[in-house]
Structure 1
Amino acid sequence: MAATKYHRFRGGERCDECGARQWYAQDAIRYCRNGHRLEGFAEHEGDEDAFGTQGKVSRKKKEPKKKIAVKLAGDEGRELYLEVLQLILLRQVWWLVREKGFPEDFEEIVRALWALRVRNLPLRESGQGNRKRKGDASEESDGYASSAALFSSQSEGTGAESSDFDLSDTTTATWAPDARRRWKLPKLVDSLALCYLGCLVRRLPATTADFCGWAQRGELEFLAAFNNIPRNVRDRLPAEYHRALQVRDHIPAGRLQTAVQELVISFKANFDTIFPPLNYPPILARLITELALPVEVYLVVKCITEVLKADYSYPIGGKKIRAMDNPEVLLAALVVVSAKLLYPLDGVERPPRSHYDPRATNIDWGTWRESMKDDKSVESSLVRGEEYKVTPEDALTMDKEKLDDFMDWFEKMWIGDGEPKTAERIREPFQGQTRPSNSSNPSKQPENTDVERIRRRYEAVNNSVKILEPVPVDPEDSGKQFRQDFCPTWRTPEELPDAARVFYEKAASIAAIPLHTLVRGATQVERRLEVWCIERAKERDREKGKDKGKGKAIWTGDDSV
């Protein structure tokens, strides 16, 4: 006889008579372990092991629990923000070293500058640990102000700030050595400024316009830096630091120069650090080449540099900083003034004094203007770095290739992993399509494109050069004639003639400075040259007077001398 197979009751049930917890089946009837018949069980309910479960069992899937990161606040939030900014700076340095061939010690230089920048940042004590920085012993016991006073919550380039930056707004009073309490947290643009200062230390011929171009084209991490931050780090950052790391779609002209000027003054005021001057000769040659100007402009700029005794160093003192005190603005202004003196922009011909006068040649500014326009060959693709200029009207009339380039740029810059569903909806209409080309890829562009473009510009300008006949000048009227050689001074962009406005705008665009700043810097340079000419004329008059006096002593009675 087979052994009886016992089963356990479900859900804590038991026999009503004896309380047994096990039962067995016999002839389709169930009994408890002690033999009591169990009521309420139908005869068709056979053994579960024999018949199995009846019907399909569906279980509700449990939704995964979302982990909500705790936002940091106070010192912890500020330190996390500094760590994020340091990570962005490190990625920028790595790109410059690996892609642009910067020297290996460039990273060490930028690290040292970053350590100085965050050295005296005011952080209060939190918890049990001592987290006061060195030199904070004299501070008040109630700690520092809140993060709102230490950091502006406005994002870089928001609508709340002007698109035109005035370099004269920076003064040494803002960065007094005893005002460490006002030393604010660095902004995202300070990462580019520190890299630029590293170039000054290393004497590399890189300009703020280069950094703006690299960042604008998405090569150097800046515009989309917030999207590249790890998700768990973004979730723990306070909201004000989110806004600080989210920038606009471009860097306003003059923004980086202003940040560099502020850092130069702050390093001098707090650490007595002076940066070397700008390595201007290669930058000057590149600027003249980009403007397709003759080589004589280089020689005139060198002469004016000696006249003004300019060393192209960033100013570190004084209550007011002029536009021409900025070395890059000064360099661009000297190029503009030199070209203006050699090849007048007002349409008035000023004949040379001899065949050796650099003004013996004259260029046609109308031809120059046509040559500076973008080539017809690149009109079918979107200009890299200028995608932010696309308007809704332009998007409706774009050809297929331009629209593909714009969508690639938009996806790279502004679609992060914060909202995956949003990214999927945007990508969905374009999935499964193959692109005929990818002009956003730098490798597609031939390396000699810029060289060919500049060569064509110089060919067009050289073909328009005219040779002017010299007109001798009486030595007695040389001073008067020298003053007449000066072109009119234009103090505002509104005063510029058509040819001059195009030239000024192109120079300002290449130097990445506002047009009104370049006009102001050129005006200041012209004023300095005018003062120098007046002083030289007075010196010549004094020398003539001395010569006349000596003649009287030698030739007695000769009053005609």
Structure 2
Amino acid sequence: MAPTKYHRFRHGERCDECGARQWYAQDALRYCRNGHRLEGFAEQVADEDAFGTQGKVSRKKKEVRKKVAVKLSGDEGRELYLEALQFVLLRQVRWLVGEKGFPGDFEEIVRALWALRVRNLPLRGSEGVEDGRGRRRRGESAAESEDGYASSASAVMVSSQSEMSGAGSSLEPDFSDATKGTTATWAPDAGRRWKLPKLVDSLALCYLGCLVRRLPATTADFCGWAQRGEIDYLAALKGIPRNVRDRLPAEYHRALQVRDHIPLGRLQAAVQDLVISYKVNFDTIFPSLNYVPILVRFITELALPVEIYLTVKCFAEILRTNFSYPVGGKRIRTMDNPEVLLITLVVVSTKLLYPLDGVERPPRDFQDPRSIKFDWTKWQEVMREDTNKTSKNLLQGQEYKVTSEDVLTLEKEKLDDFMDWFESMWIGGDSDPRTAEMIRKPFEDQKRSSKPRDSGGQSNGDIESQRMKDRYEAINDTMLMVQPVPDPEDADIKKQDRDFCPVWRTPEDLPDAAKALYSKAADLAAIPLNTLIKGAVQVERQLEVWCIQRARKARDNEKSKGKGKAVWTGDDSDY
């Protein structure tokens, strides 16, 4: 008797009773290996007339296997990261030129700065040796690519001290204070090389381009554009082509992914580091800040009297500053940053002219700027009302402050604005299958009631002008003239009590009016409140030293004139 011939079930099939995976045929019926009859199967004996007519054959479609991009590593991964960062920088520059009206040569300036930034970044283990045709291999100095930017393929860097090592946390250090950069950080010794640029360096390079071109843009402007999603930064990774993202190593993904906001002072610190590094490596000095239009903007945004402008100009001459970034010295103070110094001078001038502690300091005469009384209670009320009546919509750039508890109490318009921001910032536009379906589903084919936050046909400039006008009209109605109180006749050189102002060193020391002004000024300059307070203390100390030296010089002149026979020369310049 011939042995039984067993066959295997098709993939995914088995006996319903015992689960056997083999079967055999007997008497035109099919049985499993254990003898259980299988339903739905009967052999048909084909005759000669039915030869070749076996019916329709259906085949199971094979699942399409998605190709998984190979992650690059080593030098190739670093090259791709540089090219991706260069792509982000290019988009930022062209947005500034196209949307903000920056001059046409702005792109060439930033291109040159980028070429310098990546020039001294050799590949690991490459020495730039010439090949047989006289061309330099990888590791040569940066060349120009087709779009005019430095080619990352020949400019990739990283020494043994690369910040890309480890878990990647060193990619985004904390720049909560703009006083950490020193010349020692960029010492031009053979053992230290430039580190990989970070995403924040792209904004810093654009800002340095503004310095070169003398454009009155501040780091706070760049932070605001990035926070509102106008310029590529928060969601920069989403704008990079998909095939590039798939091949980037994980650590470079983390380098291009940022949190939902820019920490205060982070961009200022990045700018300071770049200024020092360009000086040390290439002996490049950047122009000083075009501070006059920025000063006017600070004063008008804070709705302060015009006398503040003249006082700031006088203090700038006393401190002998030209509002340029420091490039020398082992220690950089808070007030050495030109933007921090400028907003600090505005605050200190306001504090001296219009006391914030509620103490009456009458003027000596009508020429004294203190002859005008400034109502700080009204100022706080106007600034608070101006913030509250922005609109029913969520304030742009502040969406990241919404918490899970706030979502339950937000108005419908504000909730729609938050969802719009979340969709535009964090939901990929290429239908990334890895994105959780529960997160993506609410955003698909939905028409929410929120509309673009327009101004009813008015331009942004008209709205700002009207807002400033309303502020000043409301504040000027409360300003009063103060009757002067001359010094007593028997008063000597000793200063009067009204010539002294308190020094506040911590936020807890600030009175209500002072805290409102300091907080508003710090937000306007995009710096931490503690940084502004520290800068104010340093400026006040410098002014105090100047007053002491001036008084000492006056006493010395009096003593020198008192010796011998006094002769009047008609020159009162010492006074």
TM-score in terms of structure 1 length: 0.83
Q: Which among 288, 298, 315 is matched to residue 299 of structure 2?
A: 288
1:78 aligns with 2:92: no
Instruction: Work out which of the residue numbers 378, 392, 415 in structure 2 matches 1:403.
Output: 415
Q: Given that residues 319 and 542 in structure 2 are in contact (C-alpha distance below 8 angstroms), is that contact kept between their aligned partners in structure 1?
A: yes
- Conserved 8 A contact 1:156-1:189: no
Give the conservation status (yes or no) of the 8 Å contact 1:254–1:514: yes
Measured after TM superposition, the shift of residue 48 of structure 1 is 5.6
- State the shift of 1:471 in Å: 1.2
Decide whether aligned partners of structure 1 residues 179 and 489 sit closer, same or farther in structure 2, where only a CA change above 3 A counts.
farther
Shift of 1:370: 1.2
1:89-145: CA deviations, max 9, x gaps? 00000000000000000000000000111100131247998212359xxxxxxx942
Asked which structure has the greater CA Rg, the reply is 1
Q: For residues 166 and 397 of structure 1, what CA distance do their matches in structure 2 show?
A: 35
Whether the aligned pair in 1 keeps the contact of 2:507 and 2:533 (CA below 8 Å) is yes
2:139 alignment partner in structure 1: 132
Cα gap change, 1:226/1:444 in structure 2, threshold over 3 Å: closer, same or farther? Answer: farther
1:514 aligns to what?
528
- 2:257 counterpart residue number: 246
Match of 1:18 in 2: none
Distance 1:427 1:144 in 2: 41
Tell me what 1:420 maps to. Answer: 433
CA change 1:476–1:264 in 2 (3 A) is farther
User: Among residues 170, 195, 202, which one is paired with 2:181 in the alignment?
Assistant: 170
SS in structure 2 at match of 1:422: coil
Displacement of 1:405: 0.7
Q: Which residue of 1 aligns with 2:448?
A: 435
- Name the residue aligned to 1:382: 394
Whole-Å Cα distance in 2 between the matches of residues 146 and 73 of structure 1?
Answer: 17
Q: 1:541 to 1:428 in 2, by over 3 A?
A: same
Matched, 1:183 2:203: no
**Equivalent residue, structure 2, for 1:21:** none
Amino acid at match of 2:247: R
Q: Find out whether 1:372 has 2:374 as its counterpart.
A: no
Count how many residue pairs are aligned between Structure 1 and Structure 2: 501
Q: Which structure 1 segments of 5+ residues have no match?
A: 1-39, 136-142, 555-561
User: Relative to 1, partners in 2 of residues 1:516 and 1:43: Cα closer, same or farther, differing over 3 Å?
Assistant: closer
3-state secondary structure, aligned to 2:139: coil
State the 1:365 CA deviation: 0.8
Distance in 2, Cα, partners of 1:285 & 1:328: 13
Partner in structure 2 of residue 99 of structure 1? 99
Work out whether residues 122 and 181 of structure 1, in 8 Å CA contact, stay in contact via their aligned partners in 2: no
The RMSD of aligned alpha carbons is 2.7
The letter of the residue matching 1:380 is K
Tell me, what secondary structure is at the counterpart of 2:435? Answer: helix
1:451 match: secondary structure: helix
- Of Structure 1 and Structure 2, which has the larger fraction of its residues in helix? 1
Report if aligned partners of 2:164, 2:170 keep a CA contact under 8 Å in 1.
no
My pick for the range that moved more, 519-528 or 438-447, is 438-447
Deviation of 1:148 after TM superposition, in Å, equals 4.8
In structure 2, relative to structure 1, the CA distance for the partners of 1:174 and 1:108 (3 Å cut) is same
How far does residue 451 in structure 1 lie from its aligned partner after superposition? Answer: 2.0
Aligned to 2:504: 490
Report the counterpart of residue 473 of structure 2 in structure 1. Answer: 459
Deviation at 1:467, TM superposition (A): 1.1
Contact 1:264 1:314 in 2 (8 A): yes
* Aligned twin of 1:114: 114
Number of the residue aligned with 2:36: none
* Seq. identity, %: 63
Counterpart residue type for residue 414 of structure 2: K
Name the structure 2 match of 1:223. Answer: 234
Counterpart Cα distance in 1 of 2:302 and 2:62: 66
- State the distance in 1 between where 2:525 and 2:82 align: 30
Residue number in structure 1 paired with 2:519: 505
State the partner residue of 1:322.
333
Q: Distance in 1 between matches of 2:333 and 2:51?
A: 94
Task: Give the structure 2 partner of residue 235 of structure 1.
Answer: 246
Relative to structure 2, which stretch is displaced further, 299-308 or 372-381? 372-381
Q: Alpha carbons of 1:274 and 1:67: their partners in 2 closer, same or farther (altered >3 Å)? A: same
Which one of the candidate residues 46, 49, 52 is aligned to 1:46? 49
Counterpart AA for 1:241: Y
Gapped regions of structure 2 (runs ≥ 5): 1-42, 143-157, 569-575
Which runs of structure 2 are paired with 1:132-151 in the superposition (5 Å)? 132-134=139-141, 144-145=159-160, 147-148=162-163
Deviation of 1:553 (Å): 7.2
**One-letter code aligned to 1:393:** E
The CA deviation at 1:429 is 3.7
3-state SS in 2 of match to 1:121:
coil
CA shift in 2, pair 1:398/1:179, >3 Å: farther
TM-score, normalised by the number of residues in structure 2:
0.82
Q: What amino acid is aligned across from residue 406 of structure 1 in structure 2?
A: F
Preserved CA contact (<8 Å) 1:224 1:414: yes
How far apart, in 2, do the equivalents of 1:385 and 1:43 lie?
A: 77
Aligned residue in 2 for 1:20: none
- Distance between the aligned counterparts of 2:436 and 2:78, measured in 1? 30
SS at the partner of 1:183?
coil
